[in-house]
Amino acid sequence: MSPIRLQTYLAHAGVASRRAAEKLITDGRVSVNGATVSVLGTKVNADDAVLLDGIPVVTQTSFLYLLLNKPPEYICSSSDPQGRRLAKDLLPAFIEARLYNVGRLDYRSSGLVIFTNDGDFAAKISHPSSNIEKEYLVEASGHIPDTVIDDFLRGVVIEGVIYQAKKITRIGGKAIRVVLIEGKNREIRRVFSYFHLHPVVLRRIRIGNVSLDGLMEGASRPLSPEEIGGLLRRHSKS
């Protein structure tokens, strides 16, 4: 292996996406041959000893791509100081590869989350420029006025940030389906709160060409080659 950047090495090892790996490095959590590395741009060779938090990092020989139907009250994180349940612990126990979630759903939200050890794949489909649609089912505690839908489609400015849905379909007085592109952090919850609404159900039901398709809550399945290829094709068209 020719020398490659440390963040690329970590991504290939399935530790995190390249962007997340850069933060691991700058936080001083990575060492190479016994020396902590905190400067980006460092390159490593195949025979270098790379450790994350003191644990050896080994590059992956094969990649895995799993779809999880996350229940509410699970957190998308590798650990949680508050002791909340982790979504990754719902994945099959026999999988030894270190998988991490591509994007995330907040603690109270449910639905589709993709897990992988392919850092390049994760970076491509999670980057805002990918323009991959993400569709959510939202049920509120009260009636959702048409004016809220219209404003969300036009774009709502909250604390200097623009939140704008690509498409919204009403499926009931209290329920809508929302399609987002970028999907800013807690976007739907922030918009609902702005209009003094409370979503009692917020479930992601689709990312690009990948949908839950009857997958039971808490269950997972591998992504098909067609689903993986479809996500990458959508990225390449952005």
Catalytic residues: 106
| N-terminal to C-terminal alpha carbon distance within the chain | 31
Please tell me the distance from the alpha carbon of residue 204 to that of residue 106, in angstroms, as a whole number. Answer: 11
Please tell me the distance from the alpha carbon of residue 220 to that of residue 33, in angstroms, as a whole number. Answer: 37
The closest of 41, 42, 47 to 59, measured between CA atoms, is 47
- The C-alpha torsion from 152 through 156 and 159 to 162, rounded to 10°, is 100
Please tell me the distance from the alpha carbon of residue 37 to that of residue 24, in angstroms, as a whole number. Answer: 10
DSSP per residue, 75-94: B-SS--TT-PPBGGGGS-TT
- Let me know the angle formed at the C-alpha of 65 by 20 and 87, rounded to the nearest 5 degrees: 65
**Using N-to-C axis directions, what is the helix angle for 119-126 and 225-236, rounded to 10°?**
50
